[in-house]
A and B are shown apart, each in its own frame.
Chain A
Amino acid sequence: MDMSTSVMISVTLEKLPRRQPATVAGIDWAQLAVPEARRLRELGFDEGVAIEVLHRATLGSGPIACRIGRMTVALRRAVAGAIHVSTP
């Protein structure tokens, strides 16, 4: 049986290519500081929400701007690394 069409590929938001539509698969809350985790929840980060990387600041190691729901949110790569996303 060919599984390739049904298997979701999971990467972190940090590695998600720009403009690639994805959904949040899970967030590794343990990797985040308490205030960071709370702010992330307040900004609407949650399993199943549509997400897309819009911009990466300076090439290399700057922050990432992503669209989450109807908002654009900027966050650092370390935080983006704790957000697992799945692409269809």
Chain B
Amino acid sequence: MTPAPLVALVGNPNSGKSALFNALTGARQKVGNYPGVTVERHAGRMALDDGRPVELLDLPGAYSLEPSSPDERVTRDVITGAQAGERLPDAIIVVVDAANLDNHLRFALQLIALGLPVVVALNMIDLATRDGLTLDPEALARELGVPVVPTVAVRRRGIDDLKQALAGVIGHGTAVRLAAGDGSVTDDIVALQRRARAIALAGTISETPVRRWTHAIDAIALHPVAGLILLTAILFLMFQAVFTWAVVPADAIDAGFADLGNAVRATMPDGVLRSLIADGVIAGVGAVVVFLPQILILFFFILLLEASGYMVRAAFLMDRIMAAVGLSGRAFIPLLSSFACAVPGIMATRSIEDEKDRLTTILIAPLMTCSARLPVYTLIIGTFIPNNPVFGFVRLQGLVMFSLYMMGIVGAFFAALVLRRTVTKGASSGFMMEMPKYQWPRARDVLIGLYQRAWIFLRRAGTIILFSTIILWALLSFPKPPAGSDISEVNYSVAGRIANTITPAFEPIGFNRDITLALIPAMAAREVAVAAIGTVYAIDDPDAPAGQESMIENLRKRWTLPTALAFLMWFVFAPQCISTIAITRRETNGWKWPAFMVGYLFVLAYIASGATYWIASAIGL
């Protein structure tokens, strides 16, 4: 059986390509990676009207066939058949923004010149109409020599016509001319641009100037004062939502896992297996899954800001500040994403063209407090910091949480400043970005994005976190102390012995054995620290009821306030989780930079925790 025809979606950034991909494939998508690079490969399936299945590929947005980032290189390589592990597409759908033909048709001309069967999707035609443009798709088709189909991806308009046009061109390709880089006229950007403008003019029936509401919003959003106030308000709302909206679902999940653990204890006979399931698996995984609501809320906002077009405005406003520490406004987007998780954040640095600039952003991205640290912060703050009102509606717990976030940000800026003058020294980087029109984000696109994030998180909980909690449970449970021994089970176990050995190195900064025990598995994933503490106390105190209540009681008994504060500080700078180290290795092509990152963050974390512990102890907290 021959494989289904492969069709690639190609287009400029901001052409609505991914929305079109979602409209064509629905939820039937697979997100993977191209080998050797961390460019996400989005593939999906759809059926043509005649029933033929087609594999659809959503390629990264690009401005031309001359790549200036790893993303754009993948796009070029796939459509010229040079990408390892990927077939040459049987056809391409070129997605252009109907309201920006002048620019998007230039890339379309380059793509058409490649010789593959092409259908042009004249996307976002509704927004073009709103902008006062009346277009003539037939005239455009004549000029370009390929079918042109008007579409509105977000409203699923024109999708059937697009499929029909696609069915008509698949299998009718001319021989492929690999035009990229052959020095022909298709490489002369200026000449192509002029031709694109002429075609756009021929395809435009009328154009009435209207006041575009994008400009009206930008008058506020990009205003030097009002814009910054708006940005601050949005970020405040975002973090407020993360902490308040998540309470109800998180409590429900926690209660569910506690019930499950208690049910297992009540029904299974006492023994190793019961301990493994109740103390290891359920207590460990439950302690992490509790944070799914917070993570989803954070991603919800980030997806919303990206889909609406606001993210680039934020980058614009932040460029001046970023420039002061040697970065560009572009770094703002990866850094903001790093508040959810450093892995997508570091992957998002691929849009930064300057190599030194990108490297610096990667190195400081882990200092943004990722959502995996939230479980740790929430637990320790909830346990040790009284929730007294400080002034007005501001309470002490919230204030401490806010300070931890701020410390990460300040630390990151300071680190960038130092790095840019030492290890990543180089010419100051540039900032040049297209600002897309504002768009109302579509629920469908946001939901697909959220679903993918939730799935990645749960898969992590089901694999790395499950695996490390089981190992930790085993290390904590064996060997068993002999009957009648007064040494506690944890102290006698392998993990207890390891922790006892390394604890002296951490004692000067106030860490007790429970903490050093938790730090080891926390390398796998940060939120495991909470799971690890949960498992330690569950094994040490098997008669206590399951759930967070008993854990908090145990913490209050065993930790002092300076220790708790030092522990929080450790997590502001903490050396990275395995996933972050792995992604850094992949993005920087080697072990040098991840090793450097872990090293400098370890030193920062040790100093910051130590200073916190000593100061807190000295003032008698």
The interface of chain A, by Cβ under 8 A from chain B, is: 33, 35-36, 38-44, 46, 54-63, 65, 69-76, 78-79
Contacts and interface: CB of A to CB of B under 8 A. Distances in A.
28 contacts: A33-B427, A35-B430, A42-B106, A42-B189, A43-B434, A46-B190, A54-B218, A54-B222, A57-B227, A58-B320, A59-B224, A62-B224, A62-B316, A62-B319, A63-B320, A65-B435, A69-B103, A70-B100, A70-B103, A71-B100, A71-B103, A72-B434, A72-B435, A74-B319, A74-B435, A75-B431, A76-B319, A76-B432
Contacts of A54: 215, 218, 222
Interface stretch (B2-10, B61-69, B141-149): B61-69
B319 A46 contact: no
Contacts of A59: 224
Interface residues of B, number: 42
Interface in B188-209: 189-190, 193-194, 197
Contact of A79 (B215, B219, B227, B430): B430
A33 B429 CA distance: 10
Interface of B: 63-64, 66, 68, 99-103, 106, 131, 189-190, 193-194, 197, 214-215, 218-219, 222-224, 227-228, 312, 315-317, 319-320, 323, 329, 353-354, 427, 430-435
B106 to A, nearest CB: 8
Contacts, number: 116
Given A42-B63, A55-B218, A70 B329 contact: no
Contact of A58 (B190, B215, B224, B354): B224
Question: Which residue, B66, B190, B218, B432, has most C-beta atoms of chain A within 10 A?
Answer: B432
Contact of A61 (B68, B106, B227, B320): B320
Contacts of A73: 432-435
A63 B435 contact: no
Most chain B C-beta atoms within 10 Å of own C-beta, residue among A56, A70, A78: A70
A33 B190 CA distance: 17
A44 B218 contact: no
A74 B431 contact: yes
A78 B106 CA distance: 26
Identify which of A36, A40, A79 gathers the most chain B CB atoms within 10 Å of its CB.
A36
Contacts of B214: 72
